[in-house]
Chain A
Amino acid sequence: AQKITQTQPGMFVQEKEAVTLDCTYDTSDPSYGLFWYKQPSSGEMIFLIYQGSYDQQNATEGRYSLNFQKARKSANLVISASQLGDSAMYFCAMREAVSGNTPLVFGKGTRLSVIA
């Protein structure tokens, strides 16, 4: 079964607008971490934001915030004030047993296109 589901293959957003990229996850482990990465056309995966399962508050990093709804098992990425440089693939990922050695599992990604 898919552990990470990203249901939006592609999204368009107008420059300067906010956009939400969806991510749902599946785990029975009470301890896990959720990550978002950006992959521009150059190919390098760039870490954006992290949320631990025990964190009380939603994570924020500059224009990125993570809308963490634990009961719904969702970890949506919100990008505020979109810029042309935000056009890229975005991947949601999870690691179970957050302090352990389990590998990151990625979703299939969402391609975001920012329109001028």
Chain B
Amino acid sequence: DTGVSQDPRHKITKRGQNVTFRCDPISEHNRLYWYRQTLGQGPEFLTYFQNEAQLEKSRLLSDRFSAERPKGSFSTLEIQRTEQGDSAMYLCASSSSSSGANVLTFGAGSRLTVL
């Protein structure tokens, strides 16, 4: 069990560019979540998958954001035409639906800086 892996850990980009983050969940976990965390705030929910199905999306997830989990394993979060307001830590978490408490295990996050 190697935990939840996120790549890249840090990304600096210019406004208007596209960026993509990858998350590899714990292998036996069928649920995968994306959260965004800005400075001084708690994580805010963006979207989540059960297996390959995207079951819920937050209103925070604008049209410029898209997330996929094509084979029910790893997931990608793409931000198109980045804006300075997108600068944040993007956290991925996974869990098992068979776990009673459905505890989320988080990755170390991908920090995005938009110049």
Interface on A for B, CB 8 Å cutoff? Answer: 4, 33, 35, 37, 42-47, 50, 52, 91, 93, 95, 98-99, 101, 103-109
Contact = CB atoms under 8 A, between A and B. Distances in A.
A104 B104 contact: yes
Contact of B108 (A42, A93, A101, A104): A42
Contacts of A44: 106-109
Interface in B49-93: 50, 55-56, 58, 89, 91, 93
Contacts of A91: 42-43
Contacts of A43: 89, 108-109, 111
Interface of B: 33, 40-45, 48, 50, 55-56, 58, 89, 91, 93, 100-109, 111
Contacts of A106: 42-44
A47 B42 contact: no
Please provide the 5 A-B residue pairs with the shortest distance between their CB atoms, ordered closest to farther.
A106-B42, A45-B106, A103-B45, A44-B108, A50-B101
Given A101-B50, A101-B55, A35 B100 contact: no
B56 A108 contact: no
Given A101-B50, A103-B48, 12 more contacts: A33-B101, A33-B102, A37-B106, A43-B109, A44-B108, A44-B109, A45-B106, A50-B101, A91-B42, A99-B100, A103-B58, A109-B41
B109 A95 contact: no
26 contacts: A35-B104, A42-B108, A43-B108, A43-B109, A44-B106, A44-B107, A47-B103, A52-B101, A91-B42, A91-B43, A95-B102, A98-B101, A98-B102, A99-B100, A99-B102, A101-B55, A101-B56, A103-B45, A103-B58, A104-B43, A104-B45, A104-B104, A105-B45, A108-B40, A108-B42, A109-B41
